[in-house]
């Protein structure tokens, strides 16, 4: 299945929940926030979201801003 | 570090009336030194897409946390209410603060705020419990709509972001101050030099938000300090009460007892 992460398509070998995907991708321990199909997902709900083919994720972290 | 008295903004007590942006500095080290030198206690931050391999976000966030300053996350780049609200929610979780500098841009060339979408986004975010610092124009009626939406702070632009033009519409900024004596007003955007910051503070503005003017100075650390001093000087001047301007000269040196007084007119040209 294909998931879009930050505008880039990524192949996922099997379906999994968002929490596992974030860990597998190496985001664990990073100060990140996630939007799932354009909706904000609080950290506590990562385990409840089953990723499906065609889902879109925005994964953001702090940066400099004015 | 300033010894200025505390003032309240967004439910917090701070001394410095300078809010500093964190973007466009030559390095994180210079950024950190510039913030320290400026005395700013509130700094703006943002969010960006992070790749799994990327560690820039954590590095930046660690740098900011070391300073012990209050962060004001922005929604830079947002052009719709939906984007602004989602970005705000993500910022609240990452930065652990309800404070939000709300930007909804309506024009790419001037980065002018979109007045209608700004009000709509402000209403929604106030409803969701955010402390909204709206980046707005100097428009009085728009300001009123933002206040009705629940904003307790207003941040009118001085001139377009990053332009360094200073205060393009002093009349409208003075009018805002006069019409909202109780609402914290911060000039955000367009400040290019400490003299612009002083001008805003002399008008009675509660603070100024500066980024590029410090970050892109030849020496950002010294410029940070210059802005810290300027904001304090401007505030003091406002409280001290400036003299009224007059059309004609009025001698500052007392004329009584002036030698040769009235004995001669200016010498005619030969």
Q: Are B135 and B103 in contact, with CB atoms under 8 Å apart?
A: yes
Q: Which of B18, B32, B52, B95 to mutate to probe the A interface, most A CBs <10 Å?
A: B52
Nearest CA in chain A to B90: A33
Q: What is the pLDDT of residue B2?
A: 65
Q: How far is the C-alpha of B235 from the C-alpha of B205, rounded, in Å?
A: 8
Averaged confidence pLDDT in chain B: 94
CB contact under 8 A, A27 and B45: no
Tell me the pLDDT tens digit for each residue of B115-151: 999 999 999 999 999 999 999 999 999 999 999 999 9
Helix (H) / strand (E) element for B113: namely: none
Other beta carbons within 10 angstroms of residue B179's beta carbon come to 12
Which of chain A's residues have a Cβ under 8 Å away from the Cβ of B73? 65
Interface contacts A/B by beta carbons within 8 Å: 107
Tell me the pLDDT tens digit for each residue of B3-61: 789 999 999 999 999 999 999 999 999 999 999 999 999 999 999 998 877 778 889 99
Q: What is the pLDDT of residue B152?
A: 97
Least confident of A18-27, B94-103, B212-221: A18-27
Q: Are B138 and B173 in contact, with CB atoms under 8 Å apart?
A: yes
Range among A18-32, B38-52, B208-222 rated most confident: B208-222
Q: Report CA A64 to chain centroid distance, whole Å.
A: 22
Least confident of A19-28, B53-62, B212-221, B257-266: B257-266
DSSP state of B236: H
Q: What is the pLDDT of residue A49?
A: 94
**What is the bridge-based pairing of β-strands B18-21 and B207-210?**
parallel
Residues belonging to chain A with any Cβ–Cβ distance to chain B shorter than 8 Å: 6-7, 25-27, 30-35, 38-40, 42-43, 58-66
Q: Would the pTM of this model clear 0.95, i.e. be above it?
A: no
* ipTM exceeding cut-off 0.85 for this assembly: yes
Nearest CA in chain A to B190: A66
Which of chain A's residues have a Cβ under 8 Å away from the Cβ of B94? 31-33, 60-62
Output the six-digit token pair for B243: 């003299």
Q: What is the pLDDT of residue B25?
A: 97
The whole-number average pLDDT for the span B159-167 is: 95
CA atoms within 13 A on the CB side of B219: 6
Q: Are A34 and B47 in contact, with CB atoms under 8 Å apart?
A: no
- b/e burial code for range B115-145 (CB count within 10 A of at least 16 → b): bebbbbbbbbbbeeebbbbbbbbbbeebbeb
The single residue listed with the structure tokens 């968002």 is: A18
Catalytic site residues of B? 101
Closest CA to A12 of A49, A52, A57, A60: A52
Helix spans in B106-245 (H): 115-127, 140-149, 170-179, 194-202, 212-215, 220-240
């Amino acid at each position: 299945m294909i998931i879009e992460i930050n505008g880039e398509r990524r192949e996922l070998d099997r379906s999994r929940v968002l929490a596992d995907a974030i860990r597998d991708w190496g985001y664990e321990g990073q100060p990140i926030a996630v939007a799932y199909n354009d909706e904000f997902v609080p950290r506590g709900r990562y385990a409840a979201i089953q990723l499906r083919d065609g889902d879109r994720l925005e994964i953001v972290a702090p940066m400099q801003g004015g | 570090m300033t010894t200025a008295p505390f003032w309240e903004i967004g439910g917090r007590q701070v001394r410095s009336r300078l809010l500093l942006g964190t973007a466009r500095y030559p390095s994180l080290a210079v950024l950190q030194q510039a913030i320290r030198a400026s005395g700013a206690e509130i700094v703006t931050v943002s969010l960006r897409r992070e790749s799994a391999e990327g560690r820039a976000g954590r590095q930046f966030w660690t740098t900011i946390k070391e300073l012990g300053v209050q962060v004001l996350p922005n929604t830079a780049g947002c052009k719709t209410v939906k984007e602004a609200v989602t970005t705000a929610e993500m910022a609240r979780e990452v930065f652990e603060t309800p404070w939000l500098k709300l930007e909804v841009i309506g024009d790419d060339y001037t980065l002018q705020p979109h007045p209608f979408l700004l009000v709509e986004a402000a209403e929604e975010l106030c409803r969701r419990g955010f402390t909204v610092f709206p980046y707005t124009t100097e428009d009085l009626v728009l300001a009123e709509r933002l206040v009705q939406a629940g904003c307790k702070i207003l941040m009118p632009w001085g001139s377009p972001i990053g332009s360094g033009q200073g205060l393009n519409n002093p009349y409208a900024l003075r009018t805002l101050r006069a019409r909202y004596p109780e609402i914290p007003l911060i000039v955000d955007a367009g400040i290019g030099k400490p003299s612009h910051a002083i001008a805003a503070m002399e008008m009675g503005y509660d603070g100024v938000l500066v980024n590029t003017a410090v970050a892109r100075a030849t020496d950002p650390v010294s410029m940070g300090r210059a802005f810290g001093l300027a904001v304090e000087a401007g505030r003091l001047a406002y409280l001290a009460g400036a003299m009224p301007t007059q059309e004609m000269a009025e001698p500052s040196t007392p004329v009584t007892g002036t030698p040769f007084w009235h004995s001669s007119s200016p010498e005619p040209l030969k």
